[in-house]
Structure 1
Amino acid sequence: MNTLTVYRFGRVEYEDGLQLMKLFGEARRQGLCGDSLLLLEHPPILTLGRGAKRSNIVASDARLSSEGVEIFETDRGGDVTYHGPGQLVGYPIFLLPEQRHDVRRYVRDVEQCIIRTLAEYGLSSGTIPKWPGVWLGQEDSPDVRKICAIGVHLSRWLTSHGFALNVNTHLPHFELIVPCGIREAGVTSMRKELGRPVPLAEVEDKVARHFADVFELQLAEPKPLTRTVCVTLMRGRGPEARVLLLRRRPERGGFWQIVTGRLEPGEQPREAAARELFEETGLRTDVVDLEYRHAFAVGSVVPPRLVEENGFAARCSDDFQVHLGDEHDAHEWVDVPTALARLPFRGLREGVQRARRVLGG
């Protein structure tokens, strides 16, 4: 029996999720790993499938900006879909065997995994032929409502994208769009239907088991993720606020970044953040936990090297003199817009934005 490795990433920035799909897909294509199921949450974002109509985004750009919701175009099927915290997103990266070379069967199988999961909570769900996804209620009923969106992509029987199951999702965000272009029906969540919050990890367990059963795969344990920290160091306030950027030496990539580093054995994230800040800048001070933890893949290595990172921030006086460590060959104090433009990775940019809000920069 072939294996299924289930990765539970927690929060993943949407563009980092696309990179994860790409790297896992290439590794699967080359036979460097077995089938994988990536389980994660995205920050608030509207994704447009290949058949999407921009008119199905009904909110103004100003409202989207005020609510922190972004827009992203994808290569999956379907129309407009919302992703956000409390929603379990699953990306099956499967190389379908010859006996499963049937696109409709694949979609039905993904739907069946969700239907079985919901049944464990006493929720009777099903499909509606004219509309994609998993639904509660009957097709012609006025209370028919979608609980899970399905949008898949297949290339030479290698799958990507997948499903978005509303567990504890913030449902008012669906008012920003016409979900999947369907005006005749509503949207719901497990929390709304059950009248209580539902532990996401519990749902992940059930989804993983049903994917293994439906696709006849043996569950395998993933390797633990590498744990890292990033620290945004700021000085000044208001228009005078500045962010410290460090340039990695050419042999280490040559790009600009904030303070970053790995956790040492037995070290907690806050301890690692304070240590890395001292080692890379010479500053000893307390760090502020930004409550930002996300996962991503490092570089373009196949199979990917997987990282879970915690974000922190700190302040220093205007006269602090930076003493660079061995990893960097230059530093600059720049304003926040310049920092956001220079930083090459979404997670680092998010760390800077959160630091500005928390520290009042």
Structure 2
Amino acid sequence: MDRKLVVRHLGRVEYEDGLQLMQKLAKARDEGRAPDTLLLLEHPPVITKGRGAKPHNVLLTDEELKARGVDLHETDRGGDVTYHGPGQLVGYPILDLKPDRQDVRRYVRDIEETIIRTLAHYGVEAGRIPKWTGVWVGEESDPAAAKVAAIGVHIKRWITTHGFALNVIPDLTHFDMIVPCGITERGVTSLSRLQGRLVDPDEVAKVAAARMAEVLGWPLEERGFDLETIAVALLRPAAGEPEVLVLRRTEARGGFEQIVTGRIEAGETPAEAAARELTEETGRNAPLHDLRYVHAFGFGDEPLFIREHAFGAVVPPGTEVRLDPGEHAAAEWLPLSAALARLPFAGLRKAVERTAALPVLRR
């Protein structure tokens, strides 16, 4: 068969948005609308529980995790409890194993081999320990043996989702919040610790993509983002908690709720696009605050791969807006907590939370 591996380097992806993207892409792959694709990305701090997870392997309460800014998600992948966070290279291969690779063990070995060859590129000798999942540095008999990559997969109709997490330069103390993969006998390590220097995850991502294509025996094709967009969270002070402008798109445009969003047009900077979209969608001008928050997500059934730059703006109490009826059917000023409950994408909620934390709202 004429196969190829398309790789998408996505950068930061909120875990919830990543799950949605995987599901959409897996459906598109199953229906022949998308190619075999490797998503390479980074999640903010999150603990995930696989199908075999034991509750006691999460060592902190929900309240303690929330206080540390760590999300907790149950997933349909195999395995126990895993941590993801900044400095970790996460790989989600969305592949159709039909007709010639319909072997679960072979597929897991292929992922292991991809990571082993990636580490070998940096002069690190890694391998497998049969009784434990993942990729390891050191032998089973060595008390100092440590896991450098976790693996957890899901396969339905021979379409793969989830994948691997390679520790490049994460904060290893974050693994103290869990019993990683339920293994108490050994610890975890990272490529940077093994190298004795800081290694760039983006650099490792390129190596990992090439090694996976090599293991699969398929040519590699790199693709960028389909769209670059902006999001603007517009807030106004109010008694109790600030209010957030939530817009409902017309049915022709999806009918879902969002904050101000829009495309970055040719020749525009993200800040210029944000200012233009704010005026066009609300009839208001307000000083913009760059939230230093860029994330990626998937949109639609295709799906489209989108990178979004987030901004915040604050207007005086009682401010009203003017809608573009061709784009939005309604607008509401909602209390912060209600707005967060209504917005469908985790990335949009993060933009609202960051705007709510701006000093201008605390004066």
Q: Which residue of 2 aligns with 1:33?
A: 34
Q: Which residue of 2 aligns with 1:312?
A: 311
CA distance in 2, matches of 1:6, 1:60: 37
Q: TM-score, normalised by structure 2?
A: 0.94
In structure 2, relative to structure 1, the CA distance for the partners of 1:134 and 1:255 (3 Å cut) is same
Q: Which residue of 2 aligns with 1:129?
A: 130
Q: Which residue of 2 aligns with 1:325?
A: 324
- 1:135-214 → structure 2 map (5 Å cutoff): 135-214=136-215
User: Which of 47-56 and 29-38 deviates more?
Assistant: 29-38
Corresponding residue SS for 1:114: helix
CA distance in 2, matches of 1:224, 1:332: 31
User: What is the CA distance between 1:17 and its match in structure 2?
Assistant: 1.3
CA distance in 2, matches of 1:30, 1:255: 25
Give structure 1 stretches of 5+ with no counterpart: none
Corresponding residue SS for 1:317: coil
CA distance in 2, matches of 1:209, 1:123: 17
In structure 2, relative to structure 1, the CA distance for the partners of 1:142 and 1:52 (3 Å cut) is same
User: What is the CA distance between 1:227 and its match in structure 2?
Assistant: 0.8
User: What is the CA distance between 1:47 and its match in structure 2?
Assistant: 0.8
User: What is the CA distance between 1:240 and its match in structure 2?
Assistant: 4.6
User: Which of 71-80 and 317-326 deviates more?
Assistant: 317-326
In structure 2, relative to structure 1, the CA distance for the partners of 1:139 and 1:237 (3 Å cut) is farther
CA distance in 2, matches of 1:70, 1:360: 27
- 1:115-126 → structure 2 map (5 Å cutoff): 115-126=116-127
CA distance in 1, matches of 2:288, 2:189: 40
Native 8 Å contact 1:293 1:311 kept in 2: yes
For residues 109-131 of structure 1, what are the alpha-carbon distances to aligned partners after superposition, in whole Å with 9 as ceiling and x for unaligned?
11011011111111111110000
Q: Which residue of 2 aligns with 1:343?
A: 343
User: What is the CA distance between 1:275 and its match in structure 2?
Assistant: 0.9
Amino acid at match of 1:159: T
The percentage of aligned residue pairs carrying the same residue is: 54
Amino acid at match of 2:124: L
- 1:84-103 → structure 2 map (5 Å cutoff): 84-103=85-104
Native 8 Å contact 1:290 1:358 kept in 2: no
Q: Which residue of 1 aligns with 2:355?
A: 355
Native 8 Å contact 1:237 1:360 kept in 2: no
For residues 220-240 of structure 1, what are the alpha-carbon distances to aligned partners after superposition, in whole Å with 9 as ceiling and x for unaligned?
232532011110111216725
CA distance in 2, matches of 1:229, 1:48: 32
For residues 213-266 of structure 1, what are the alpha-carbon distances to aligned partners after superposition, in whole Å with 9 as ceiling and x for unaligned?
100001123253201111011121672522122222233233332111111111
Amino acid at match of 1:345: F
CA distance in 2, matches of 1:352, 1:260: 12
CA distance in 1, matches of 2:31, 2:333: 44
Q: Which residue of 2 aligns with 1:52?
A: 53
Amino acid at match of 2:161: S
User: What is the CA distance between 1:311 and its match in structure 2?
Assistant: 0.8
Q: Which residue of 1 aligns with 2:290?
A: 289
User: What is the CA distance between 1:61 and its match in structure 2?
Assistant: 2.3
Amino acid at match of 1:333: W
User: What is the CA distance between 1:318 and its match in structure 2?
Assistant: 2.0
Amino acid at match of 1:171: L
For residues 182-236 of structure 1, what are the alpha-carbon distances to aligned partners after superposition, in whole Å with 9 as ceiling and x for unaligned?
0000011112222222112210110011001100001123253201111011121
CA distance in 2, matches of 1:339, 1:223: 32
Corresponding residue SS for 2:240: helix
Amino acid at match of 2:303: P
Corresponding residue SS for 1:99: coil
Q: TM-score, normalised by structure 1?
A: 0.95
Amino acid at match of 1:306: F
Native 8 Å contact 1:49 1:75 kept in 2: yes
Native 8 Å contact 2:232 2:261 kept in 1: yes
Amino acid at match of 1:233: L
CA distance in 1, matches of 2:205, 2:179: 27
Name the Cα RMSD after superposition: 1.6
Corresponding residue SS for 2:91: strand
For residues 160-200 of structure 1, what are the alpha-carbon distances to aligned partners after superposition, in whole Å with 9 as ceiling and x for unaligned?
11100011111111000000000000011112222222112
For residues 276-319 of structure 1, what are the alpha-carbon distances to aligned partners after superposition, in whole Å with 9 as ceiling and x for unaligned?
111111222321111111111113x1x31121111110111225
Give structure 2 stretches of 5+ with no counterpart: none
CA distance in 2, matches of 1:237, 1:196: 49
